[in-house]
Amino acid sequence: MNRYKSLARIAADVIMILSLAWAPLWLFIIFAIAFAWFFAPYYENILWGLVLDSLYGLHSFYGLITALLIFVIIELLKKRTRI
């Protein structure tokens, strides 16, 4: 993996952690969609869904389900829109 791509991925993870802690939910979801679009397999979204659900959820897996749906939808859209 390219050095700059690794740094960009680490920066994206830091942004996700900060948005998870202090940003509203809609901004967190926009960041999750954007980073899933820019990075090839952004498996961290699954982790962010679990963390979001454990922090703010009522002992349910809706955060994980949302993260998985975002991941699958973005992966399908990337395959259809890239040449």
Residues 22-32 have pLDDT tens digits of 989 889 889 98
pLDDT digit string, tens, across residues 25-67? 889 889 988 988 888 787 888 788 777 777 776 656 666 677 7
24: left (phi over 0), alpha (psi -120 to 50) or beta: beta
Its sign, for the CA torsion 70, 72, 78, 81, is: negative
Which residues, 6 or more positions from 49, have their beta carbon under 8 angstroms from its beta carbon?
63, 64, 65, 66, 67, 68
Looking at the predicted structure, is the pLDDT value of residue 72 above 70?
yes
> Which of 74, 78, 64, 1 lies closest to 36 in space, CA to CA?
74
Domain count, the chain: 1
Cα(61)–Cα(5) distance, rounded to whole angstroms? Answer: 31
Domain that holds residue 77: 3-81
- What's residue 19's pLDDT? 92
